[in-house]
Each structure stands twice: as structure tokens, then as C-alpha cells.
Amino acid sequence: MLTYHTAIIGAGASGLFCAGSFATPKIIIDHNKIPGVKVGISGGGKCNFSNISVTAADYQSQSKHFCKNALAAFKPQDFITLLERAGIAYEQRAHGQLFAKNAQDIVQFLVYRAKTQNTDFALKTEVLDIQKKDEEFIVRTSAGTIQARHVVLACGGLSYPALGASSFGIKIARQFELNVIEQRPALCGLSVPKELRPICKMLVGNSTLAQVSTGKHTFTEQLLFTHEGFSGPAVLPVSLFWSEGEKVRINFLPDIEALSWFYKQKNTSKKMSTLLPFTGKIGAVLLGQLDKPLSNATKTDLEQASRHLNAFEFIPAGTAGYTKAEVTAGGIDTREINPSTFEVKKVSGLFVTGELLDVTGRLGGYNLHWAWSSAYCTAQKLIKKI
């Protein structure tokens, strides 16, 4: 039986970063044949690895203060410093988003860093079961049994099932009687009721600046029309805060008050849609039968048209699901976890990092930064357990 100080389950962002942050003998186990698969395709192959400004307010969790300690312990500049030392090129984009020039540079950096810190890799290896016996964990895998004094669950969420996402981490959490907040797809598109789908299908592939709101949360960015509803940077963050049955409101003209706009041009014989700053046929499709010459439009017509444009409301039929979701919301209840060390309070030696926890960042590099910061704190505790 192989024996290690620590067994890390999952060769994703948090697992790799944790492994590279302390030097005691450890092993990373993952069922994928290569490490860092999801990191390698993130950000359209550029890897949005962090954001220049990261605060607890950028995260959704049942416990809104849980992430504060980790974010204070490991800041965006700390990861930037590591990249600069490694000679990895990066750039800052709009809204403080930090991107590598090539996502594979980040993956190779994480793997190399882990290997130089006394880490063995067991890839293409399924973890079948984890049991705790006295002060040791017995990790049974498809390649044999491993013994370790500590186990880090860095298994990720359910998003991107084609890349090997699974519910194994939640299975182990329940085995150790940890509370789990219901998981759901997040940072994904929203589907519309059947009666609205013809509108979306006519506009598939078109995008426009829009303000999208749910509850107290509002985002103004590009909205993309899909076959089943809406997606794009304006919609993805809304999916994180939306609850089933809740209304979503879209202002397709965030910089224009449509009713006043129409009244200023009331005497023209041009159709309403031709006077709107949309590209292509977006205006005509959104207005539908209301699209008529302004000179012929009644007050009621103008008010209805304005509501369509400035206050379009609908109750989503659902989200685009885990196949399209960038992250998984929900997960292991943070009340079960020490916020400074990420050790499970009632299971000494068991740690949980990254997306498996009920901490989900909004769009813009926040989720990868959470992977780094939670893994860093875990590693700092494991260093003390040598």
C-alpha cells in the first residue's frame, strides 16, 4: 500500500495549486488522462485566471462572510507575482479581468509547480471510496489502495460533464455526514417559455447591449440570443442569482427611454424599428406587430412598444444546464468548514477546496481566484501538519 502525507482528489485548478504550495510527499488522483482540463479551455483558451479587484461581495454563498479570510490571505497580485516569476505573459482586460496569453501556459505552470513540490500523479485513476481509520485515510482507487494522513477534496462541480465532472465529492461529503447546499448550474444562459422561443430563434446569433436584472442584481453587458433563450455576459451572472419562479427583466435600450424617444419623432412615417439603434432585425423582431409607422401609432401602441424595449419581463423556464454552465453553484455547506484552513470541522485531516464548496463567484475571473485562494489556505495548514 502506497503511503503519503496527503492525497488530493482532483487535478483541477484548486487541486494543482494546493499541491504546488507545500513540499511534503503527496499524490494527486484524477480520472482524466491529463491534468487541468477545464483550466486549459477556460476563457476561450486564454484563461481568465483572476480579477484585479476581488472582494467577498463578488461571491454568492449561504454564508456571505466565509470567503473573506481566504481572499485576504491570497490576493490577485499574489498569483500575478507567481506568473511573472515564471515568465508567463498575461494581460488586463475590461472590468479588471486578468487573462493569460495562452491557457496552456497556466496549466503547464501548475503541473510543473506541483511536480517540483514532491507530488506524484495518478491520472486515469478512479477514486472508488474513502474511509477514515483511526488517524489515517484509506483511499481505494482503480489502481490500488493509498493511505494518507490527510485528504483534500478538490473534485470540482458538475459543470462540463464532457470533461469528466462528477458528483464524487458530494458523495464523499454525504458519507462523512456533511451538509450539502443543493447544487445548480450557474453562469449559463437562461431558457424562455415556449411562447417566447420564436422570437429568440429568429434572432439566434445576434447580440446587443442590454441591462438584465433579477431581484436586486443588475448587469449591463452584451446579451446574446440563442435557440432557447438568452445568454452572453449580461445574462450569465444573472443565472447565479436567479431562483426558480423568479422574474427576469431586460432593458434592451439601457441608454434610451423608449417612450420619450418615440414621442420626439412622433410625426415621422418611418417604422419604429428603423429609428432604434439596433443592428440587423433585432428591433423589428422585438416589436413584432407593434412595429408600425410612428405617425400611425396610438398612445397605447407607444406604451406597449416601450415596455417591450425597456421593461421586457419573463419567468425563465430554466437554465441552459450543466453542459453550458461555467460553474456549479451550491455544494458543501461552508458552515462545515474552517474558513481559515478549509479543514472539515468534524473530520480532522479532511479538507475541501474550490468549486466543491458553496462559494460561487460572478463572471470575470472570480471563480479561478477562489480556487487559488482556498487551495493556498489549505496548503498553509497542511504545512503545519508535517
**pLDDT per residue over 9-36, tens digit each?**
999 999 999 999 999 999 999 999 999 9
User: Sorting pLDDT into bands at 50, 70 and 90, what band is 267?
Assistant: confident
**Better-scored residue on pLDDT, 142 or 1:** 142
- What gap in Å lies between CA 370 and CA 13, rounded to an integer? 10
pLDDT digits (tens, 9 = 90+) for 60-116: 999 989 999 999 999 999 999 999 999 999 999 999 999 999 999 999 999 999 999
- What gap in Å lies between CA 352 and CA 189, rounded to an integer? 28
- What gap in Å lies between CA 99 and CA 369, rounded to an integer? 12
pLDDT at residue 119, rounded to an integer: 98
Contact between 151 and 139 under an 8 Å Cβ cutoff? The reply is yes
Global pTM reads 0.94
Residue written as grid cell 438584465: 212
Residue 137: its H or E element:
strand 136-141
pLDDT at residue 353, rounded to an integer: 98
Contact between 111 and 99 under an 8 Å Cβ cutoff? The reply is no
Cβ neighbors of 86 (< 8 A, separation 6 or more) are 109
304-339: burial string, b at 16+ Cβ within 10 Å, e else: ebbebbbebebebebbbebebbbbbbbbbbbebbeb
Residue 312 sits in a domain of what CATH number?
2.40.30.10
- What gap in Å lies between CA 349 and CA 153, rounded to an integer? 11
Q: Which of 267, 296, 319 is the last residue of a domain?
A: 319
Give burial (CB, 10 Å; 0-12/13-18/19+) of 378. Answer: buried
- Average pLDDT on 170-184 reads 97
User: Sorting pLDDT into bands at 50, 70 and 90, what band is 1?
Assistant: confident
Cβ neighbors of 239 (< 8 A, separation 6 or more) are 185, 186, 187, 188, 189, 190, 319, 325
- What gap in Å lies between CA 198 and CA 192, rounded to an integer? 10
In a shared domain, residues 108 and 150: yes
pLDDT at residue 164, rounded to an integer: 87
Q: Which of 293, 319, 345 is the last residue of a domain?
A: 319
Contact between 141 and 125 under an 8 Å Cβ cutoff? The reply is yes
In a shared domain, residues 125 and 111: yes
Alpha-helical regions (H) of the chain: 13-19, 37-45, 68-73, 76-86, 103-115, 168-175, 197-202, 236-241, 258-264, 282-287, 299-310, 366-384
In a shared domain, residues 214 and 271: yes
In a shared domain, residues 310 and 357: no
User: Sorting pLDDT into bands at 50, 70 and 90, what band is 361?
Assistant: very high
In a shared domain, residues 357 and 294: no
Of 50, 123, 55, 35, which Cα lies nearest the Cα of 88? 50
In a shared domain, residues 288 and 196: yes
pLDDT at residue 148, rounded to an integer: 98
In a shared domain, residues 200 and 301: yes
In a shared domain, residues 216 and 135: no
- Average pLDDT on 268-290 reads 94
Q: Which of 281, 300, 319 is the last residue of a domain?
A: 319
Mean pLDDT, the chain, whole residue set: 96
In a shared domain, residues 96 and 220: no
Alpha-helical regions (H) of 232-279: 236-241, 258-264
- Average pLDDT on 27-46 reads 95
Residue 77 sits in a domain of what CATH number?
3.50.50.60
pLDDT at residue 346, rounded to an integer: 96
Task: Check whether 386 has a pLDDT greater than 80.
Answer: no
Task: Check whether 368 has a pLDDT greater than 80.
Answer: yes
pLDDT at residue 162, rounded to an integer: 87
pLDDT at residue 163, rounded to an integer: 87
In a shared domain, residues 172 and 59: yes
Q: What is the DSSP string of 71-102?
A: HHHS-HHHHHHHHHHHT--EEE-GGGEEEES-
251 φψ region: left (φ > 0), alpha (ψ -120 to 50), beta (else): beta
pLDDT digits (tens, 9 = 90+) for 346-355: 999 999 999 9
In a shared domain, residues 100 and 145: yes
pLDDT at residue 385, rounded to an integer: 81
pLDDT at residue 291, rounded to an integer: 94
Task: Check whether 372 has a pLDDT greater than 80.
Answer: yes
In a shared domain, residues 168 and 35: yes
Task: Check whether 375 has a pLDDT greater than 90.
Answer: yes
Task: Check whether 229 has a pLDDT greater than 90.
Answer: yes
187 three-class SS: coil
The boundaries of the domain holding residue 308 are: 190-319
> Domain count of the chain?
2
Residue written as grid cell 484552513: 341
